[in-house]
Structure formats: C-alpha cells, structure tokens
C-alpha cells in the first residue's frame, strides 16, 4: 500500500475522531492524544506533554527497530520471568496463568524482554565497534537512538498538545 494513501486514510479518520487527535507521525505510525492520555492522567503543562510525546516517539522507533530485527524472547527467558513474577507474588505459575489478565501480563512481559534484548544487542554492537567504557553504555544508547531518530520521518503537531 502506498504511504501517502495510508497517511491520507489516517488523517481522514482522525477528523471523525476529534477526541483522538493525531499528535505525531513516526514513520508510517501515528501517536494520538489517546496514547498520550495513557501516560498523562493529570492535567500537565504543554512542556510536560511534549516530553511524554518525545518518549512515545522513541518507544515507536525502538519498537520498529525490534520488529525490523525480528527480536523475540526465548521460551526459557519467558518461563524464567513468569516464575519470578509468581514467586514475587507468592503464587504458583498455574495460579498466575489463571489470572484473568494473564494474556496481558504475558504480552507486556514479552515486550519488556524484547526491549531488554534489543538494548543489549545495540550496546554490544556499539562496544564491539568502539572502545567505550561500560559506564558510558547508557549515554551511547541515547546517542544511537538520537541518530536513528534523525533518520526517521517524524512530524510533531505541537499546536494540538
């Protein structure tokens, strides 16, 4: 499907859903006022909403990179984390699986494991290519993310914040 056609459909649809205004376009995905409201429960300043929007933009970029690289958690890592969650809550894995929100918990767990694996992969790749001290990994990741952000089509509608 053509990117302009998709963009047209998104914008046309948004005009019917005023309460769900498009705040930013990241690549071929949108961030809406609804997305922002999930993180911003209280009334905040435009500057605070812009900070949250930038975090959502980085999250979209990171998720796109994860999909692009095909990063998936191993069954072993999922089971290990489920055991840790069950242990922390003094329940068995079977009791955890009976939780009505188990599928949501499992999907969030998988997303977190994907992000951890992605960040480790990027950090390791950067360390292999350069002679950075371990203490600089977090800053290097931020610089890498900034570089990816610069290469991604991003359009922010600040006036709608």
Per-residue pLDDT of 76-116, as tens digits, reads: 999 999 999 999 999 999 999 999 999 999 999 999 999 99
Q: List the domains of the chain with CATH numbers.
A: 3-160 (1.10.4030.10)
Q: How many CA atoms lie within 13 A of 28 on its CB side?
A: 8
Q: Whole-angstrom Cα distance, residue 14 to residue 121?
A: 37
Considering the entire predicted model, what is its pTM? Answer: 0.71
What pLDDT was estimated at residue 106? 96
Q: How many CA atoms lie within 13 A of 152 on its CB side?
A: 25
CB contact at 8 A, 161 and 35: no
Could you read off the pLDDT of 19-77 as tens digits, one per residue?
A: 689 999 998 899 998 898 888 667 678 888 899 999 999 999 999 999 999 999 999 99
What pLDDT was estimated at residue 67? 93
Q: Using alpha carbons, list the distances in angstroms from residue 78 to 69, 75, 95, 99, 121.
A: 19, 5, 16, 17, 18
Phi, psi of 131 (to 5 degrees): -105, 70
Torsion sign across C-alpha atoms 104, 106, 111, 112:
positive
Q: Whole-angstrom Cα distance, residue 94 to residue 71?
A: 27
Q: Using alpha carbons, list the distances in angstroms from residue 76 to 88, 96, 113.
A: 18, 17, 11
């Amino acid at each position: 499907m053509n990117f302009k056609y998709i963009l047209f459909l998104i914008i046309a649809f948004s005009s019917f859903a005023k309460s769900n205004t498009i705040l930013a376009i990241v690549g071929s995905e949108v961030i809406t006022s609804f997305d922002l409201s999930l993180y911003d429960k209280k009334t905040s300043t435009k500057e605070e909403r812009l900070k949250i929007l930038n975090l959502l933009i980085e999250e979209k970029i990171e998720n796109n990179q994860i999909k692009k690289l095909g990063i998936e958690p191993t069954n072993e890592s999922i089971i290990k984390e489920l055991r840790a969650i069950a242990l922390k809550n003094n329940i068995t894995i079977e009791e955890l699986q009976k939780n009505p929100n188990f599928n949501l918990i499992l999907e969030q767990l998988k997303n977190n494991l994907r992000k951890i694996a992605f960040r480790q992969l990027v950090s390791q790749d950067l360390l292999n290519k350069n002679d950075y001290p371990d203490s600089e990994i977090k800053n290097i990741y931020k610089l890498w993310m900034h570089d990816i952000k610069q290469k991604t089509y991003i359009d922010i509608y600040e006036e709608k914040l």
